[in-house]
Structure 1
Amino acid sequence: MPTLPADLQDADSPDPTRPAPAAKDRPAYRPDPAGGCPHADNARLLARGAVTPVVLPGDIAGMAVLGHDALRDFLAHPDVAKGARHFTALAEGRIPEGWPLRTFATVPGMTTADGADHRRLRSLVSRAFTPRRIEALRPRVAGVVAGLLDDLAAAAEADGGVADLRRHFALPLPLRVICELLGLAAHHQAPLHRLSQQIVATDITPERALAANRELVALLSAIVADKTATPGDDLTSALIAARDEGGDRLGQAELIGTLLLLVIAGHETTLNLLTNAVRALCAHREQLAHVREGRAGWAEVVEETLRWDSPVSYFPFRYPTRDLVVDGTVIPRGTPVLAGYSAAGRDPAAHGPDAGRFDVTRTPAVKHLSLGHGAHFCLGAPLARLEATLALEALFTRFPDLDLAVPEAELPRHASFVGSSVRTLPVRLG
């Protein structure tokens, strides 16, 4: 059996050279449910170590793994699970209905499945996201981008030269593409995004959280009923066919959960990625010059943005199936653990002393973790990269002088400590 890294061992066989304090021996961090920029807190927490206890909404005790190496190994550890049955507080009835993070823990689908179940569910979707199939979407994505640039220009012209790039460009691109892949009608896009935002919000009340979940499940159920009656050449119809074949390929609850996952993950992450990339380039004009002068490509802009300002800050949840020592700290069995992607992206231990600097010419010593690692690596990563690369190149080619219309500090932050971005992005096209 291979030896585990020294910073990720079973609690019953800790590294004798490193103490293993219990979580209670360290001050707990309370992520702000209203969101906010995570980077200052991340730097402070990383200075104390790669793991920190956290207090989740409702005073639920958890942990966050922040350091790059510790997170990489934790994500792939065989004794770390995603299934909600391993969540001790949930099993004990201490997680109420309407808890803002409950959907992350309990939605049936790939993100809460382990082992054979995870492989079964992932295999039903993975064929739609192979690099070859995604590359075949390039002309369609480029066409959507071109049309949205026209819309962005029209919006700016109608409002004194200023337009919300997030609303008119960064949002409709991934939302339109994922809905087309799923075969969803255009009129579903607005309610799907509105409900998705409420699902990922961490400052939402229990009543609103329950209502949003019920409305989204009802909408997806109605879509499935329509597609069952009139199937098409799309991913939703393919999933319905898998459900109707019988056996154990896909249950009804898993079908709805899979669609929910694909809709939310299929556009929210890329929306934040595009928004964060534009903000970064506007704040670092010399980095934009590197791209224009050929010292870096748009793909490098995307990767550096993923590392430097991850679109997902703290992703819920994973659970040790037995007590583990991670970077010298015990994480008890059944603890809900947040994956600290934004902190890992700026970890100096992995990315060097200049980890806090946005540099598109960077030659990374290690790959960032912002799209996950191990069995649950983001299935839509090729699509997100294609969309972001094409969008950024077309945007700055057409509007080379594009810049923020308000100071960065005045941009309202995403109301969540899960997603990391801003709610609006007013720009002048120049």
Structure 2
Amino acid sequence: MQNHTDPIVIDPEGPDIQGEIARIRERGPVTKVVLPGGIPAWSVTSAALLKEILSGSEVSKDPRQHWPAFRNGEIGKDFPLLNWVNTRSMFTAYGSEHRRLRNFVAPAFTARRTSAMESRIRAIADELVTELDVTQQGDPVDIREKFAYPLPLRVINELMGVPEHLIGPLRKCVDGIFDIALSEAEAVANYEEMIGLLQHLVEYRRGNPADDMTSTLISHVDDPAKDFSLEELVGTLYLTVNAGHETTVDLIDQSIYLLLTNPDQRAAALDGSLPWADVIEEVLRFEPSIAHAPLRYAVHDFTLGDVAITAGDPILSCPAGANRDPEIYGDSAGSFDPTRTNKDHMAFGYGPHRCPGAPLARLEAQVALPSLFQRFPQMKLAVSSDELGSVPGFIANGHDRLPVLLK
């Protein structure tokens, strides 16, 4: 049995993410936790201290350079977070290497390109709500499965140029990547299958180039003047499909849930007195799609707050904790309030590693939510909140299901 002086052991299933984060915060803004797999780490829940390390050079995301245990072969294939730290992409790069890899991805998420996708996102949303409209009155619908999930899936697949025959298999693999509770054999098999699917995507787009992200990245690999390898291309696609899909699903999921459980705010959004953008920013603060973002490593010895960090120590950034930091949001930090004046949050990270797809995720939510709620203004939950469950794992922050009555 754990006592109050033992490090908090992170639950790999993530059944009570916010409750667990609150217990971590009670220990202090920088506190020892134990990751799935028995790896000790520092959890940072203070917004100010998290911004400090994410914007500086004291921490790295590259385990090959800065995590001695990984470099020395002490982290085995049974480490549940292995797939989050060992894939070569800008997600696990540091300094100039990160900037180099990010430069290849940035053109896919420019303001112009994002804005150009709005009409397509709107068409997908309209198609999905039209399909929902045939539901018989009184029949429950899992709105996560039928709306929150397919919209971002279709958007990211179109952005990446994923052909129809790879969509279903890739979706299954993405679900597995976020499920930290998979056995070692299941996790390894899921990762290998996903890498194989992405390699197949590259082969397909080599023979069938189009105006999509994959085809553009292939052109960089094939250009001798560009310093971009095939392994880095596959790692970039791996990052994009995982980070660009599940996170937006959970954003739309949590937005629907919070509006259904806050009817006054839903009414205000529908009558125009509460901007949808304000709703979305508060959802991102209150229930960010990524609760914990693994992993970073101390580049050298340094002090964070009043805690001494040793070179090589793993660090778990906690955007969900920072987003409810009472030092920033006061006594209302734990309340959902889209009218709050402070719109700052860390749902998309901070500093050099801030998510380049943030504008696209916001755009998808800004199109999806009014489309759904204007079509079904009487929508309500079909079960109690405690029956919804959560997505597996402690990284993603969403519901297992979201049954509603549309009419």
* TM-score between both structures, scaled by the size of structure 2: 0.96
Equivalent residue number for residue 20 of structure 1: none
Q: Comparing 160-169 with 91-100, which one deviates more in the overlay?
A: 91-100
Could you tell me how far 1:268 is from its partner in structure 2? Answer: 0.5
Could you tell me how far 1:250 is from its partner in structure 2? Answer: 1.1
Aligned partner of residue 108 in structure 1, secondary structure: coil
Aligned partner of residue 139 in structure 1, secondary structure: helix
Letter of the 1:390 partner, please give it: V
Equivalent residue number for residue 9 of structure 1: none
Is 1:222 aligned with 2:200? yes
Q: Is the 8 A contact 1:100 1:199 kept in 2?
A: no
Is 1:124 aligned with 2:101? no
Could you tell me how far 1:412 is from its partner in structure 2? Answer: 1.5
Is 1:387 aligned with 2:364? yes
Is 1:414 aligned with 2:394? no
Question: Quick one: structure 1 residues 112 and 129, their matched pair in 2 at CA, closer, same or farther if it must change by over 3 Å?
Answer: same
Letter of the 1:195 partner, please give it: C
Letter of the 1:349 partner, please give it: E
Could you tell me how far 1:126 is from its partner in structure 2? Answer: 0.7
Aligned partner of residue 41 in structure 2, secondary structure: strand
Letter of the 1:75 partner, please give it: L
Which runs of 5 or more structure 1 residues have no equivalent in the other structure? Answer: 1-24
Equivalent residue number for residue 161 of structure 1: 139
Equivalent residue number for residue 336 of structure 1: 314
- Listed as ranges, the matches of 1:293-332 within 5 Å are 293-332=271-310
Could you tell me how far 1:247 is from its partner in structure 2? Answer: 4.2
Aligned partner of residue 337 in structure 1, secondary structure: strand
For 1:153 and 1:34, locate their aligned partners in 2 and report how far apart those are by CA, in whole Å.
Answer: 35
- Listed as ranges, the matches of 1:74-223 within 5 Å are 74-85=53-64, 86-154=66-134, 156-157=135-136, 160-223=138-201
Q: Cα deviation per residue 1:9-62 (whole Å; 9 max; x = unaligned)?
A: xxxxxxxxxxxxxxxx96311111111122222223223311111111221111
Among 5, 9, 21, the alignment partner of 1:42 is 21
CA RMSD in angstroms comes to 1.5
Q: Is the 8 A contact 2:220 2:226 kept in 1?
A: no
Q: Is the 8 A contact 2:114 2:359 kept in 1?
A: yes
Could you tell me how far 1:88 is from its partner in structure 2? Answer: 2.3
Could you tell me how far 1:151 is from its partner in structure 2? Answer: 2.3
Q: Is the 8 A contact 2:138 2:405 kept in 1?
A: no
Aligned residues: 403
Aligned partner of residue 427 in structure 1, secondary structure: strand
Q: Is the 8 A contact 1:108 1:253 kept in 2?
A: yes
For 1:362 and 1:289, locate their aligned partners in 2 and report how far apart those are by CA, in whole Å.
Answer: 17
Could you tell me how far 1:323 is from its partner in structure 2? Answer: 1.7
Letter of the 2:32 partner, please give it: P
Letter of the 1:205 partner, please give it: S
Equivalent residue number for residue 292 of structure 1: 270
Aligned partner of residue 353 in structure 1, secondary structure: helix
Among 29, 46, 68, the alignment partner of 1:67 is 46
* TM-score between both structures, scaled by the size of structure 1: 0.91
For 1:273 and 1:178, locate their aligned partners in 2 and report how far apart those are by CA, in whole Å.
Answer: 15
Q: Is the 8 A contact 1:152 1:165 kept in 2?
A: no
For 2:181 and 2:386, locate their aligned partners in 1 and report how far apart those are by CA, in whole Å.
Answer: 21
Aligned partner of residue 406 in structure 1, secondary structure: coil
Is 1:254 aligned with 2:246? no
Which runs of 5 or more structure 2 residues have no equivalent in the other structure? Answer: none
Letter of the 1:306 partner, please give it: L
Aligned partner of residue 352 in structure 1, secondary structure: helix
Question: Quick one: structure 1 residues 48 and 295, their matched pair in 2 at CA, closer, same or farther if it must change by over 3 Å?
Answer: farther
Equivalent residue number for residue 374 of structure 1: 351
Equivalent residue number for residue 400 of structure 1: 377
For 2:179 and 2:341, locate their aligned partners in 1 and report how far apart those are by CA, in whole Å.
Answer: 35
Letter of the 2:386 partner, please give it: A
For 2:78 and 2:231, locate their aligned partners in 1 and report how far apart those are by CA, in whole Å.
Answer: 19
Q: Cα deviation per residue 1:135-168 (whole Å; 9 max; x = unaligned)?
A: 11111100000001122334x33x9521111111
Aligned partner of residue 180 in structure 2, secondary structure: coil
After TM superposition, the runs of 4+ consecutive aligned structure 1 residues lying more than 3 A away are none
Could you tell me how far 1:311 is from its partner in structure 2? Answer: 0.9
Letter of the 2:26 partner, please give it: A
Could you tell me how far 1:331 is from its partner in structure 2? Answer: 2.2
Aligned partner of residue 346 in structure 1, secondary structure: coil
Question: Quick one: structure 1 residues 123 and 297, their matched pair in 2 at CA, closer, same or farther if it must change by over 3 Å?
Answer: same
Q: Is the 8 A contact 1:26 1:52 kept in 2?
A: no
Equivalent residue number for residue 31 of structure 1: 10
For 1:368 and 1:120, locate their aligned partners in 2 and report how far apart those are by CA, in whole Å.
Answer: 27
Equivalent residue number for residue 254 of structure 2: 276
Q: Cα deviation per residue 1:173-203 (whole Å; 9 max; x = unaligned)?
A: 1110111011111232221111011112111
Could you tell me how far 1:228 is from its partner in structure 2? Answer: 1.2
